[in-house]
């Protein structure tokens, strides 16, 4: 197969000769030989690279989650690097003063919460306003381009972890979701997607010959990406989602949990594609840092039948039922002190139903929203 960047350099690069190029990328912007897109553009005789843009975690991936990043100068190329994960979480017109076309080469992981897709959407909106073109160099959805799961964000619950009403597991490549954003949500920029060649919608990342480069410090591999649409919901609680361990989003626990009991209860649910193992861990950062936590490790047994969002919701249901006094929802100072789980879930219904110990309506809503979205999604699929 060929990545979008490889197809572009082989077939389309001369079409942009004489254009001043801005590049939105990070450490995942590489070809199959792990050569940086920044370097490939900077040293190419037909590309005038003038400006770099970085998403959350920074251009080189060195910044932890949620931390604002200042604009700077890239030490390798000497080019200005404008942070798009600044206090406003969006670009401004001054950043485009030396740019005619903005290219994007970022590896998404297929979940609504992941901020790269909204960084791209904000750039597309500014480019629409400023009359600039956007070109997305497409990359695979690492958890396949078939499966879609979860509810859509409701009005009043949009944020930078859920800017548009799409399901939690969206089943798009980053190029496809850019086309959806552009048309469905009235961005209407001059958008071009450079397609990959040789990628199938059924492919997981491990089905390709590509080498995995972790987009962010806690994106450790494909199992993490597969579980993340469900276990990321844990971030909205006082439970540890495994940040500060070697298995973020693959272990869940807290000091007050009995891991053996929790594993037994979860395995009795017979959820497809996963087994739960009792575990003990001590996070070195984040929630419950340096405290011993018990909980469960999630092991994928059949990725083709895995429903990660339902797994995450059912895990929360069991914990909040068993530990109603200890398990709590947390508010986020970064999101106007709102309940973070409401923004992750895109609604306050999940939180309310967990408190009343009846999540059946939320699970039904997920199924309804998924079916409705699939009908919209069909028009934006670039690969079959």
Q: pLDDT tens, 176-235?
A: 999 999 999 999 999 999 999 999 999 999 999 999 999 998 999 999 999 999 999 999
Residue spans of the domains in the chain: they are 4-215, 222-347
What distance in Å separates the CA atoms of residue 104 and residue 134, rounded to the nearest whole number? 8
Q: Burial level of 267, CB count in 10 A (0-12/13-18/19+)?
A: middle
Structural domain 4-215, CATH architecture: 3-Layer(aba) Sandwich (3.40)
Band of the pLDDT at 343, cuts 50, 70, 90?
Answer: very high
Q: Which pLDDT value is given to residue 170?
A: 98
Across the chain, mean pLDDT equals: 96
Q: Please report the beta strands in the chain, taking only residues with DSSP state E, as ranges in sequence order.
A: 20-25, 48-54, 72-73, 80-83, 101-105, 133-137, 190-194, 251-254, 274-281, 293-300, 331-332, 338-339
**Chain mean position to CA 247:** 17
Q: What percent of the chain has pLDDT over 70?
A: 100
Q: Which CATH number fits domain 222-347: 3.30.1490.480, 2.60.40.420, 3.90.1150.140, 3.40.50.1010?
A: 3.90.1150.140
Both tokens assigned to 310:
């339902």
What is the band of 90 on the pLDDT scale with cuts at 50, 70, 90?
confident
The pLDDT tens digits of the residues spanning 218-233 come to: 999 999 999 999 999 9
pLDDT, position 334: 81
pLDDT band, residue 68 (cuts 50/70/90): confident
Mean pLDDT across 262-290: 97
What are φ and ψ of residue 276, in 5° steps? -115, 130
Q: What is the pLDDT of residue 165?
A: 97
Query: What is the pLDDT averaged over residues 304-328?
Result: 98
Mean of pLDDT values over 90-94: 93
Do 208 and 148 contact (CB within 8 A), yes or no? no
pLDDT in tens, 366-381: 999 999 999 999 999 9
């Amino acid at each position: 197969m060929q990545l979008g960047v490889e197809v572009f350099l082989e077939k389309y690069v001369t079409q942009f000769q004489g254009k001043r190029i801005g590049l939105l990328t990070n450490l995942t912007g590489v070809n199959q030989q792990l050569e940086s897109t920044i370097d490939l553009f900077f040293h190419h005789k037909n590309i005038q690279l003038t400006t770099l843009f970085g998403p959350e975690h920074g251009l080189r991936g060195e910044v932890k989650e949620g931390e604002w990043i200042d604009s700077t100068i890239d030490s390798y190329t000497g080019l200005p690097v404008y942070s798009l994960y600044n206090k406003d979480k969006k670009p401004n017109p001054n950043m485009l003063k030396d740019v005619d076309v903005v290219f994007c080469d970022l590896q998404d992981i297929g979940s609504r919460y992941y901020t790269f897709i909204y960084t791209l959407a904000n750039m597309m909106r500014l480019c629409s306003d400023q009359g600039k073109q956007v070109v997305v160099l497409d990359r695979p959805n690492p958890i396949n381009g078939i499966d879609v799961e979860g509810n859509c964000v409701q009005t009043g619950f949009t944020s930078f972890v859920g800017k548009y009403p799409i399901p939690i597991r969206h089943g798009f490549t980053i190029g496809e979701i850019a086309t959806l954003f552009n048309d469905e949500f009235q961005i209407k920029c001059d958008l071009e997607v450079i397609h990959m060649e040789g990628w199938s919608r059924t492919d997981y990342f491990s089905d390709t010959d590509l080498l995995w480069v972790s987009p962010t410090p806690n994106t450790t591999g494909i199992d993490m990406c597969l579980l993340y649409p469900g276990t990321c919901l844990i971030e909205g609680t006082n439970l540890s989602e495994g940040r500060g361990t070697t298995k973020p989003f693959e272990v869940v626990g807290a000091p007050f949990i009995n891991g053996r009991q929790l594993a037994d209860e979860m395995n009795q649910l017979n959820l497809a594609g996963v087994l739960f193992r009792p575990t003990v861990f001590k996070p070195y950062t984040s929630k419950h840092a340096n405290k011993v936590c018990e909980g469960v490790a999630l092991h994928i047994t059949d990725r083709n039948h895995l429903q990660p969002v339902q797994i995450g919701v059912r895990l929360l249901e069991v914990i909040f039922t068993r530990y109603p006094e200890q398990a709590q929802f947390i508010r986020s100072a970064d999101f106007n002190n709102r309940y973070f789980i409401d923004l992750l879930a895109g609604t306050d219904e999940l939180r309310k139903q967990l408190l009343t110990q009846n999540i059946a309506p939320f699970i039904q809503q997920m199924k309804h929203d998924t079916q409705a979205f699939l009908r919209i999604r069909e028009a934006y699929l670039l690969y079959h």
